[in-house]
Amino acid sequence: MLKKNIEAALNEQIATEAHASFLYLGLASWCDMKSFDGAAGFLYKHSEEERMHMLKLFHYINDSGGYAKSPEIKKSKTEYKSLADVFKTIYESEIKVTQSVMELVDLCNREKDFSTLNFIQWYVAEQHEEEVLFKSILDKIELVGDDGKGLFMIDQYIETLNAKKAAAEAAGGEA
Ligand code: OFO
C-alpha cells in the first residue's frame, strides 16, 4: 500500500511527464512548420515516449493501491527563435525532470519505500540517457550556428537517431 505522500509525489510526476509530452508535441509542430523534418519526426516520437513514461506511473500507482489522477497540463510556450532554442528548451526541461525524479528518490529513501524506489530507478536511468542525448544534439547545433547547410545536415543526423531507436526497439532493447 502506498503512503499518501508517496502517492501525491508520484501523481506530481504524472503531471511532469504529461507536461513533457505536450511540450515535445509543440516543439515537434514548430520543427514541422519550419521544415526541420528530421527533428519533427524525432520529437513527435519523443512526445509519445513521454506519454508512455506517464502511463507507467498511472499503472504503478493503481497497482499499488493508490489512485492515479489525470493531470492538468501547464501551457508551454509556442514561439521559438531557432532549432538551437528548441533543443535548449528541451535540455533545460529535462534537467528539471531529473530534479523531480531525484526528489522522488530522496522521498522513497526517507520513507523506506524500497518498492517505489526500485520502480523509480528506471526513470533515473532514462533521465541520464536523455540528458546525454539532448546535450550532444544541442552541442552539434551550436557548432553550426546559423549556417543553413549545417542545420540541414544536423536535421538529417537527428532523423538517423529515430532509425537507430526503431532498430534497437525491434531488437527488443530500449534506446
Ligand atoms: Fe525525460 O523522460 Fe520522461 O521521465
Minimal CA–CA distance to 127: which of 172, 155, 93, 158?
93
Candidate from 50, 91, 119, 134 with most ligand 1 atoms within 8 A of CB, to mutate: 50
Has residue 47 got a pLDDT over 90?
yes
Report CA(21)–ligand 1 centroid distance (Å).
9
Instruction: Show Cβ contacts of residue 88 under 8 Å, excluding neighbours closer than 6 positions.
Output: 138
What are 109-122's pLDDT values in tens digits? Answer: 999 999 999 999 99
Q: Which residues line ligand 1 (CB under 6 A)?
A: 17, 20, 50, 53, 94, 97, 123, 126-127, 130
d(CA 12, CA 169): 29
Q: Where are the domains of the chain?
A: 4-69+80-170
Report CA(138)–ligand 1 centroid distance (Å).
17
Instruction: Show Cβ contacts of residue 58 under 8 Å, excluding neighbours closer than 6 positions.
Output: 14, 68
How many residues are given for the chain? 175
pTM of the model: 0.93
34 phi/psi in degrees, rounded to 5: -90, 10
d(CA 60, CA 56): 6
pLDDT at 23: 97
In this structure, CATH architecture of domain 4-69+80-170: Up-down Bundle (1.20)
143 neighbors 33 (Cβ within 8 angstroms): no
What are 67-101's pLDDT values in tens digits? Answer: 999 999 989 989 999 999 999 999 999 999 999 99
